[in-house]
Amino acid sequence: MSTPRIKTILVTGGAGFIGGNFIRMFLDRHRDVEVVNLDKLTYAGNLESLRDVEKNSLYHFYRGDIADEAFVRRLFNEWHFDAVVNFAAESHVDRSILGPSAFIDTNVRGTMALLEVSREFGVERFLQVSTDEVYGSLGPTGKFTESTHISPNSPYSASKASADMLARAWWKTFGVPTLVTRCSNNYGPFQFPEKFIPLMIANALRDKKLPIYGDGMNVRDWIYVEDHCDAVDVVLYKGKVGEIYNIGGGNEVANIEMARLILSKLDKPESLLEFVKDRPGHDRRYAMDSSRIETELGWKATRSFKEGIDLTINWYLKNQDWWQRIISGEYQDYYKLQYEER
Ligand code: NAD
Ligand code: TDX
């Protein structure tokens, strides 16, 4: 299949953690592509994270909901996108347990609205950004491959798996040229401090307890966010339409080990660790087999975990205003509910 000619791209969820990092990388790499960021600005969307690109004449921001099909259609009428990369989602597992509806609205209905309008207007590529969580949980050995059975265990992962199925069906039935990427746990700059690594850093810096779910032996395969963004860019231009690509960092770390590492790097005592009630349906272990994207598309994660974690901790140390504003703002209620009143 030939390389797509992309002159205008719709990136959804660009005010979030990964979407924002992707837009920054994409504008730097592709100096002749108009980038439209469509984001609802939920609690997780923050335009502060994109201050450095907002004056770029190729960057355009629209506030809106991907599930609002009429709005999405108006945007397509204006821009006639060649490609869509769908990062927009409700992304936090714990929130999906507290209230699943928004996850269905955005992750399922929203993806369908984007697919429908993409079908109407015709796009060269539609990339659905998905997750390793759709595969469920692993035992102590083995890795997820693209042919591993889908077994989502949380409302979040069930909604993401549904979106993957929609992308497949819109390709098979309507010929919308979809691709699905499934990535492992990301970490790096601008990650919302409800997620494990930034939460551990923010709490340690404020001498607050670090809540560890269950026995702390759940394992995640961590990837530095720029490596994920690079992989999305590679799949967008070189991936085979209709395919799924796993993306992993190859860094399996148990949660308790990660929390201890962060405490030691910040010179904080282990007495800050606090074992709390486990997350219902908590997946035990994730590990990705990325050999398809590596052998077929030549992608490989480049950041070692040692480099990535130091970069991340330093970023949170230098950008305390960014996360302090979030923690002291409207997020406070959820934070209390989730971590202080359990
Ligand atoms: P995030 O929560 O930081 O950002 C999500 C963004 O989507 C926010 O800016 C939010 O305002 C926006 N959004 C939410 N609902 C919307 C709607 N209805 N319409 C338009 N915009 C909306 O999430 P993230 O961690 O950056 O994740 C981005 C994507 O990558 C998600 O699809 C997620 O499932 C996937 N993913 C994340 C990880 C991870 O480790 N964070 C790993 C694999 C895959
Ligand atoms: O306070 C905490 N204590 C704790 O022990 C939190 C927030 C998490 N955890 C554990 C749960 C997980 O085993 O840490 C691990 C990581 O938790 P999260 O950061 O919530 O990530 P996870 O549930 O693994 O999901 C993430 O990776 C896949 C993203 O949030 C998803 O969007 C992505 O699809």
Beta pairing partners, 186: 223
Domain extent at residue 89? 8-186+221-247
Angle between helices 305-318 and 255-265 (to 10 degrees): 60
Model's pTM, two decimal places?
Answer: 0.97
Residue showing tokens 């995640």: 220
Cα–Cα distance, 110 to 86 (Å, whole number)? 10
Ligand 2 contact, 191 CB (< 6 A)? no
| Pocket flag, ligand 1, residue 40 (CB < 6 Å) | yes
269: its two tokens: 């005592």
Give residue 341's pLDDT. 47
Per-residue CA distances from 109 to 47, 115, 127, 207 (Å): 24, 10, 16, 41
Residue of 71, 87, 93 with the most ligand 1 atoms within 8 Å of its CB, for mutation: 87
Residue type, 191: Q
Residue 294 lies in a domain: no
Give, using CA atoms, the residue closest to atom 15 of ligand 2. 196
Residue 135 forms part of a structural domain: yes
205-227 pLDDT tens trace: 999 999 999 999 999 999 999 99
Which of the listed residues 63, 91, 225 should we mutate to test ligand 1's pocket, taking the one with most ligand atoms within 8 A of CB?
A: 91
Give the C-alpha separation, 125 to 1, whole Å.
12
* 115 φ, ψ (degrees, to nearest 5): -65, -40
Q: Is 226 in the pocket of ligand 2 (CB under 6 A)?
A: no
Phi, psi of 87 (to 5 degrees): -95, -20
Q: Which of 220, 285, 334 to mutate to test the pocket of ligand 2 (most atoms within 8 A of CB)?
A: 220
Show the tokens assigned to 335: 């934070």
Mean pLDDT across 313-342: 77
Look at residue 300 and tell me whether its pLDDT is greater than 60: yes
| Residue 45: inside a domain | yes
Tell me which residues are annotated as active site: 132-133, 156
Residue 285 has what DSSP assignment? B
* pLDDT at position 339 over 60: no
Looking at all shown ligands, the one closest to residue 112's CA atom is: 1
Residue 1 lies in a domain: no
User: For residues 80 and 122, what is the distance between their CA atoms, to the nearest angstrom?
Assistant: 9
pLDDT band at 104 (very low <50, low <70, confident <90, very high): very high
How far is the centre of ligand 1, averaged over its atoms, from the C-alpha of 267 (Å)? 32
Looking at every residue in the chain, the average pLDDT score rounds to 96
Count of domains for the chain: 1
Q: Bridge partners of 4?
A: none
What integer is the mean pLDDT of 56-74?
98
3-state secondary structure of 144: strand
User: What is the distance in A from the centroid of ligand 2 to the CA of 321?
Assistant: 23
Q: Indicate if the pLDDT at residue 253 is higher than 50.
A: yes
Distance 62 CA to ligand 2 centre (A): 29
| 3-state SS, residue 292 | helix
pLDDT at site 2: 79
Centre a 10 Å sphere on the Cβ of residue 202 and count the other Cβ atoms it contains.
20
Q: Which atom of ligand 1 approaches the CA of 223 most closely?
A: 40
- In this prediction, residues 148-167 reach a mean pLDDT of 98
Q: What type of residue is 58?
A: L
Report the nearest atom of ligand 1 relative to the CA of 17. 26
Phi/psi of residue 245, nearest 5 degrees: -125, 120
Distances (CA, A) of 135 to 146, 254, 285: 9, 19, 11
* Average pLDDT, integer, range 89-99: 97
Ligand 1 atom at minimum distance from 67 CA: 18
CA of 153 to the centre of ligand 2 (A): 13
Q: Whose CA is nearest to atom 3 of ligand 2?
A: 212
Q: Is residue 115 part of a domain?
A: yes
Q: Which atom of ligand 1 is nearest to the CA of 92?
A: 2
Q: Is 106 close to ligand 1, i.e. is its CB under 6 Å away?
A: yes
Q: How far is the CA of 287 from the centre of ligand 1 (A)?
A: 21
Per-residue pLDDT averaged across 317-324, rounded? 96
Predicted confidence (pLDDT) at residue 5 exceeds the cutoff of 90: yes
**274-288 pLDDT, tens digit each:** 999 999 999 999 999
| CATH number of the domain bearing residue 62 | 3.40.50.720
Tell me, in angstroms, the distance from the centre of ligand 1 to residue 87's CA. Answer: 5
Specify the pLDDT at position 85: 99
The pLDDT-based confidence of 35 (bands split at 50, 70, 90) is very high
How high is the pLDDT of residue 328?
87
Q: What is the mean pLDDT of residues 174-199?
A: 98
**How many other CB atoms are there within 10 angstroms of residue 235's CB atom?**
25
Q: Is 91 part of a structural domain of the chain?
A: yes
122-140 residue pLDDT tens: 999 999 999 999 999 999 9
Look up residue 200 and give its two tokens.
């551990």
What mean pLDDT is predicted for residues 180-188? 98
Query: What is the average pLDDT across 178-194?
Result: 98
Would 31 be classed as within a structural domain?
A: yes
Query: Does 209 reside within a domain?
Result: no
92 lines ligand 2 (CB under 6 A): yes
